[in-house]
Amino acid sequence: MNLLELVDPNATDGVTLLRDRRSLRAALEPVRREGCSIGLVPTMGYLHDGHLSLLRAARAQCDVVVMSLFVNPTQFGPGEDLDRYPRDEERDLRLAAEAGADFVYAPPVEEVYPHGFSTHVEVEGELTGVLDGDPSRRGSGHFRGVTTVVAKLFNSVGPDVAYFGQKDAQQVAVIRRMVRDLDFPLRIEVLPTVREADGLAMSSRNAYLDIEARERATALSRVLRIAAETAPGEGLAAALDAARAELRVAGIEPEYLEARDAEDLSKVTELGDRPVLIAVAAHVGGARLIDNVVVKPNFERMT
């Protein structure tokens, strides 16, 4: 069977929208039977070029591309922005189609968490307890929400490759751990952070920024660049100090600005022989923004 025949020819813009697991499985069953590879791009929608870079990579590497579009309530804490999280499904479908998605899986909340739902997937320890997972910040419950929904998506879609962004470096570390620990038979691909021309990491939450906050938010990528450039010569502590000073100038008090081992997220004080993640989170205007840079052992900036 020709691959083109597997994709619903009546679908708008060449993308087929699916709302429930049964029709998702039914749609993917012939694809799998033909031995085609499936790429999954999990998103919460309100697509930007960061999401599109994942879709394009999936399009280039896999026979069939599935994008999930689900604003997952369980990864939002009380008082976070679940209710006002930006949404525009029509636009997302168009952009996903243009970037080469074959299927968009956009289930309602009840499909993912039916009445009686009570099972969770949790990566324990430092990976989920530091940075965003610190109890004074989003807390490890945020990552429990992420790993639970991603595990469900893996089970529903059965991808050969799943695509994630380096922008959410801790999420990547946590998901990699889950995939290894629970023997998910798939490969994780991580794509570099896509930025605006002035360095701001693209994020659906950038929509919350007014003009003044948008300008101030450029400080986050700027201080990461300063830190990455300072660390090799002057050490990590001096690099973090320089970054903090620059944040102060921009009037930004970070939630955290830390250097950690890029893989296990253990605290590091000196550059050694492993990549180091320098990560920042801050509230700017009405948005909580995160960004990071990885410094390689040979002191070359990676992203």
Q: Which is nearer to ligand AMP, 140 or 171 (CB)?
A: 171
Q: Residue written as tokens 């380096």?
A: 166
Active-site annotation holds for 48: no
Phi/psi-derived region of residue 126, left when phi > 0, alpha when psi is between -120 and 50, beta in every other case: alpha
Residue 194's nearest CA partner among 81, 47, 60 is: 47
Q: Residue written as tokens 């919460």?
A: 44
CB 12 within 8 A of CB 101: no
170 lies in the site for ligand AMP, by CB under 6 A:
no
Phi/psi-derived region of residue 69, left when phi > 0, alpha when psi is between -120 and 50, beta in every other case: beta
Q: Which stretch binds ligand AMP (CB under 6 A): 124-132, 176-184, 198-206, 247-255?
A: 198-206
258 lies in the site for ligand AMP, by CB under 6 A:
no
CB of 223 to ligand AMP, least distance (A): 17
Applying CB under 6 A, which of residues 17, 24, 51, 107 lies at the interface with ligand AMP? 51
Q: Which is nearer to ligand AMP, 194 or 287 (CB)?
A: 194
CB of 85 to ligand AMP, least distance (A): 9
147 lies in the site for ligand AMP, by CB under 6 A:
no
Cα–Cα distance measured from residue 149 to residue 219, given in angstroms and rounded to the nearest whole number: 32
303 lies in the site for ligand AMP, by CB under 6 A:
no
43 lies in the site for ligand AMP, by CB under 6 A:
yes
Q: Which is nearer to ligand AMP, 51 or 152 (CB)?
A: 51
CB 63 within 8 A of CB 40: no
Q: Which stretch binds ligand AMP (CB under 6 A): 82-90, 147-155, 160-168, 206-214?
A: 160-168
Helices (H), 113-217: 126-129, 140-157, 169-181, 211-216
Residues at the contact surface with ligand AMP, assessed by CB under 6 A: 43-44, 50-51, 53-54, 164-165, 167-168, 191, 193-194, 201-204
